[in-house]
Structure 1
Amino acid sequence: MRILGHDRTGINGAREEIFDLIRRDPNKNINIYFDGWCGFRAATVLRSVPQVLPSMKDRPPKLCFGRIIYVDCSSWISKRTMQKVIAQQLRLNNDTMAMFDEHDEEDDFNGVDLGSRDAIRSVATMIDETLRESRFIMIFINGSDKEVVLGTLGIPEHSDCVVLWTFSARLITMRAYGHQDEIKKKLIYTDVFLWSNRPGFLPRYEFIALFHEEASYIAARYPCMRGMELKRVVDCCLYGLLLTYHTFRSTTGFAWSAHAPNFWICDGIILGDSAWEISNALHPEISFDCDVGMLEEVLDILNTDPKSPFLLLDSRLRDVYEERLCRWLSITTLSNNRAHEVVQTTLTGASSIFRALKNKHDPVGLPNGYFKYNRLMGRDLAASISKAKRLQVLILDGCDGFGDVVLPNNSTLRSFSLDGYGPASSHRTSTVELPPEMSRPKQPQADASNRRKKGAAKTSIISLRGCGRLDKPFLRGLPNLVELDLSGCAIKVLDFGSMVLDVPMLKRLFLIGYAHNVTTTGAVLQHAARASKETMMVGSNSDRQVHYCVAAGGMLMFGDVFTKIGDGLAPMQAFPEAPMEQSDRHIEIDGGSRSMQSEAEDPDDYNLASLMGFYTETLHVHNVSTCSSAMPAKSWNYLRWCRVERCPSLHAVFPPGAVDVGDSLDTIWASDLLMARCVWSKANFAYHANLHLKRLRQLHLRCCPSLRFALAMSHRPTFPNLETLHIIHCGDLRHVFVPMYQKSQHTGSVQFPKLTTIHLHDLPALQQICEGTKALAPALETIRIRGCCSLRRMPALKGRQAGVKKPTVEVEKDVWDALEWDGMDAGHHPSLYETPVHSRYYKRRMLRRTVLR
């Protein structure tokens, strides 16, 4: 590899240096790495090449190319993404481009992360065939930290071509002196290393031109910045440079640059209703990969510019004590009287002032009287934040003097944090995100008896009622908090393991006004020493739907921990809400012991079992961890809906002997039953078999991995009112309905005259809906199936009314192709269904045994 230096300045000069090198080089194939000025402006120079080259007049033969390929991968993802950009530049046919989607879908299914996705060989062959017979130049901005072997992407390795590239992530780079040795170690396939010594040799206007270039490049990529004055984006770049300098020089470890979006808005650089959107878009774009010595050299040049918006008073930089107005003032030294005079003049129009300490022993504050000359910072602030109009983030970490925190009906607030352990160290990367866990202080070493002593947070009530966009609260270390009102917020999951922690005195939690039920994960409301009861209010209306739940032992547990309910939830895994309507004859069982199991199994007529069987209309059993049976094997006279969840030892929801005598059961909803083998057991006596769920309308089952079947069928099976069958994540389920007795033989079919919806997901052992017989569902409207690789039969549609729309089907292609059909005469033919929609992800057939070659 040849190492060549250049002494050109500016974009035009560096570009001409590259063109001269191409003209002089005797080789047809040349790979050039351009380093700019210690990495500075390298990407900017390369971006100018494809803009200027086509318009050049009287180009020499060495600069004549049949194709110009420009690949900007400064935001690096993978080799496949780069290959796709090349394919788009070459305008390859649709079939070739479709290969990217196919391979991405397969990798999505197999769990291959984006960064590990390699190039596609067949696409590489097409690229090679397209380029091999032409002379081309490829300009490549490499955002990774490794040299890319272009041959694997399809770029011909020994053809007549020029490859011009640089390392440059999406940030402004100014590397340290001597960095070239480190880069050279990475270069294996490069022919020429072209570099210049230092950006300090560049004139002042070159740096300003760089920021204008970068600003236009950034603004062009974001629709929210259309119409925004380019100078404001340039000011954001310069402000970001100043914050990076203070981050380097900070003796406190505070990451100033991480808070750049806040400064841009507070300083007035970015204004308007879309200010936060623009700030969040700019923040990841305006970042600097700098060596501190190089940064000081550049700032020294900009600091002497009379048009520069900032002024740095630093003993490391040249004295610039001329009296001029500036917007941003940085003070690290006030070593002489002249400096004091300049500060007084400069402060007149300053909107941001930074006091950077040289060492830990310097005084933190500014001398008295420094702000009396400033016309921007002397405004009176409001005494309360309750009327803040555009407040999006409120962080009160370490503010332990608040008694009550009340901020009602704020329509813009999105994030709220009150951490009694103290403030986070720094490093917020977004204006709406809260500090990450790693930056928060650890729990102080103190026993519970000392938590209410002097120094603990005094807050007893927090009300964020009506904050309709708030979805990111964080509360921790509040030993005196008694009441928390989050009614009307946008919270989907209230996690008491990561969002609300160490609140031992919390007694009242309000979650009123949610259109959908909020999931509370691991919620615990402790029984205070002098409290008589704990309350959790949940519902869509505080007058009509408020549920009070008090568990035994002074503790209230809530915990739908299966998954978080949010926008990212896959539609196939969505599960309906559990029934919530309660009758006057409602029983709820939370927890339980062996004594409760013995009570449920006791044949006595005057116990819990009798109360449940003879009087109960609605039943909710949850968190029964030790009992194998929680339901009586009795007749159920009035039971309308049954909800059973999180009972890991339960063998069956309804044990043998249970009978729906009242013919009232409408809904069965069961979830997270790890040991349950069935929902409704087979009867012990023959006469029970005919009294069987005639009014059942809804059957919903989720996460019952040991379930072999759901319901046992009577001698003359029919389910005249069943409308919905929804079952997900039941790995051992073979059939939904089975005969009451092993020797039972059902002739004909099982009738489901009102069944409209079938939703089956992740049931790999499921063979068919009814064991040993056919299912007949003439009213069927929707079938959604995924992850049921053993399924062999669909319900028949015989008796369906003429002119009724065909049922819609969503199923994997290999499952659909493997189905067995009885023919048109039996109403069981694929043509009777709509053309199935095959899911984008499907499980391929895998070998069951090792193949030895």
Structure 2
Amino acid sequence: MGLLQEDIARDNIISLHRQINWNCEAHFLEKVIERFMGHPELPFLVIKDGDVYEEGTYRWISIKSRNTKIHGMQTIPTMTTSFFLAFERSDQPQTLPNGMFEHCSKLGVLVLYCCAFSFASPPFLKCCGLRFLGLDHCTDEKATEGEDDAEWLCLSSLWVLDVRYTNWNGIFCAEKMDIMTNIRELNIEGEMGWQYIACLQRRLPNLERLRIIKPTCKWVISEAVDNYFVDKKSMKILDLSGNSDMKSLPTSLSKASSLQMLVLDGCDELESIGGLPPSLESVSFNGYGPASQWTQTVELPPKQFLPSSRTDNKDVRISKISLAGCTQLGNLYLCWLPNLVELDLSGTSIKILDFKTMVVQIPRLKRLFLKDASTFVQ
């Protein structure tokens, strides 16, 4: 199992994604995986606590352990295309064995959770076929002095980089990002977050999905903030949810001519929104905060993933939202915005504006503009 080939029609990929549903009982899912593991043409391997690794020609390996050792494992098989490793003890990250990915020329998907390795010279450095790299709560072992002289082959092939609560500033430096010419999707959760956007200027030319959410550091104003998105002509999804200190959107967002979805859930300090590109199809602003899961398409997250309450008393400041001129806008979700007084939907494609499902808990709304919009209000 690996990633779909890039030349497969994107419409087919999106259609397939909408049909996939993993909502099932855990024991049933385990039985399905066990069947996969027993199929001679689909060599799967799932290791849980206490299991001992046995060598084999596995293409898909998943390891989850509370311990700090993987008994019997030192290197990944040459045939492996997808590898998932999660240690559940974040207080004692496990150092990855030297040479663990030495022969993984076919590795396309790599996800690591609570692992330690040298950020200057990571063990997957030479995985020249890597397409998806996910790092969650990983730490720097700092076992080497300086940076390895080898080329960062793993970055030149990447399509998706997913970094969560991993303080690896070096991966976003100019030199590294200049190598990531094939990146289509960049997800950053926690850590500095918003500050990394400045590094994206004139880089990642093929970026389509950008999510910088729930930063743990305070948002810092930069003089260049209004130029951040001038060259992002391919960007379709922008998720800035959880940036609670962000006071305004960059004006250059209007230059993102392919932008289809904008998510601002939990952006409490924003006072107004406007000047967005006509290409927008979906907008979400939930004052209760970010959804628990993000969507891979321009459709808004299902209701079960949307928060409906918050534990703090922080005020959501937004008072004016203008989506005028967003001629493709058909999906809208505004919820719990107690200070919103003006909403402009002029020229949008919204057919029915439902105040029970689309615009909810907006008690102070006084002005609603629907000029040149064939919208029925209910």
- Select which of 299, 302, 314 maps to 1:433: 299
1:279 aligns to what SS in structure 2?
A: helix
Answer yes or no: is 1:352 the counterpart of 2:124.
Answer: no
Q: 1:302 maps to what in 2?
A: 59
Q: Mind listing any 5+ residue stretches in structure 2 that lack a counterpart?
A: 23-27, 38-42, 47-57, 61-75, 88-93, 139-163, 184-198, 202-227, 230-249
Matched, 1:321 2:101: yes
Task: Determine the C-alpha separation between the residues in 2 that align with 1:488 and 1:476.
Answer: 22
Tell me how far 1:464 sits from its aligned partner: 0.9
Please say if 1:397 is aligned against 2:198.
no
List aligned pairs for 1:646-665, cutoff 5 A. Answer: none
Residue by residue over 1:554-589, the C-alpha shift from the partner in whole angstroms, topping out at 9 and shown as x without a partner, is xxxxxxxxxxxxxxxxxxxxxxxxxxxxxxxxxxxx
Q: How does 1:9-24 map to 2 (within 5 A)?
A: none
For the aligned residue pairs, the C-alpha RMSD in angstroms reads 4.0
The CA deviation string for residues 605-658 of structure 1, in whole angstroms up to 9 with x for no partner, is xxxxxxxxxxxxxxxxxxxxxxxxxxxxxxxxxxxxxxxxxxxxxxxxxxxxxx
1:332 aligns with 2:117: no
Over 3 Å counting, the alpha-carbon distance change for 1:371 and 1:480 in structure 2 is: same
Taking the TM superposition and a 5 Å limit, the aligned residue runs for 1:814-829 are none
Residues 460, 431 of structure 1: alpha-carbon distance in 2 compared, 3 angstrom cutoff: same
| Cα pair 1:466 1:489 within 8 Å, conserved | yes
Query: 1:283 Cα shift?
Result: 1.1
Same amino acid, percent of matched pairs: 31
**CA–CA distance in structure 1, aligned partners of residues 20 and 283 of structure 2:** 26
Distance 1:338 1:321, change over 3 A: farther
Which one of the candidate residues 250, 255, 274 is aligned to 1:406?
274
| Equivalent residue for 1:484, pick from 324, 328, 343 | 343
In the alignment, the residues of structure 2 paired with residue 323 and residue 379 of structure 1 have an alpha-carbon distance, to the nearest angstrom, of 32
1:366–1:298 CA distance, 2 compared to 1 (3 A): farther
* More contact order relative to length (CA 8 Å, sep ≥ 6): 2
Q: Per the alignment, in what secondary structure is the counterpart of residue 342 of structure 1?
A: coil
Number of the residue aligned with 1:189: none
Distance in 2, Cα, partners of 1:308 & 1:389:
39
> Any conservation in 2 of the 1:408–1:467 contact (CA below 8 Å)?
yes
Question: Does the CA contact (< 8 Å) of 1:321 and 1:338 recur in 2?
Answer: no
Q: Could you tell me how far apart the structure 1 residues matched to 2:324 and 2:118 are?
A: 54
Find the counterpart in structure 1 of residue 30 from structure 2: 291
Give the structure with the larger helix fraction: 1
1:424 pairs with one of 253, 273, 291: 291
AA in 1 matched with 2:332:
P
Q: State how many pairs are aligned.
A: 239
Corresponding letter in the other structure for 2:165: V
**Helix, strand or coil for the counterpart of 1:394?**
strand
2:239 aligned residue: none
Contact 2:256 2:277 survives alignment (8 Å): no
Q: Which residue number corresponds to residue 323 of structure 2?
A: 464
Q: Quick one: distance in 1 between partners of 2:45 and 2:137? A: 18
Q: From 6, 11, 14, give the equivalent of 1:280.
A: 14
C-alpha distance in structure 2 between counterparts of 1:484 and 1:351, whole Å? 41
Alpha-carbon separation, structure 2, partners of 1:320 and 1:379: 31
Counterpart mapping for 1:182-221 below 5 A = none
Which residue of structure 2 lines up, in the alignment, with residue 365 of structure 1?
166
* 1:394–1:282 Cα change, 3 Å: same
The equivalent residue for 1:509 is 368
Q: Summarize the Cα distance change of 1:508–1:391 in structure 2 as closer, same or farther, 3 Å threshold.
A: same
Q: Find the aligned partners of 2:308 and 2:119 in 1 and give their Cα distance.
A: 46
C-alpha displacement of 1:354? 1.0
Could you tell me which runs of 5 or more consecutive residues in structure 1 were left unpaired when the two chains were aligned: 1-207, 209-233, 238-268, 447-453, 522-853
Please tell me the residue identity of whatever aligns with 1:395: V
| CA pair 290-278 structure 1, distance change in 2 beyond 3 A | same
CA deviation after TM superposition for structure 1 residue 357, in Å: 5.0
Tell me which residue corresponds to 1:520.
Answer: 377
1:334–1:340 CA contact under 8 A, matched in 2: no
Mark the structure with the bigger radius of gyration. Answer: 1
Residue in 2 aligned with 1:721?
Answer: none
TM-score (norm 1): 0.25
Q: Deviation at 1:287?
A: 6.0
Question: Can you list the C-alpha shifts for 1:472-528, whole angstroms capped at 9, x where unaligned?
Answer: 2111111222221101111121112221122233222110003x4x2211xxxxxxx
- TM-score norm. by structure 2 comes to 0.52
For 1:460 and 1:483, locate their aligned partners in 2 and report how far apart those are by CA, in whole Å: 7
Asked if structure 2 preserves the Cα contact closer than 8 Å seen for 1:403 and 1:460, the reply is: yes
How has the CA–CA distance of structure 1 residues 312 and 435 changed in structure 2, closer, same or farther, with 3 Å as cutoff? closer
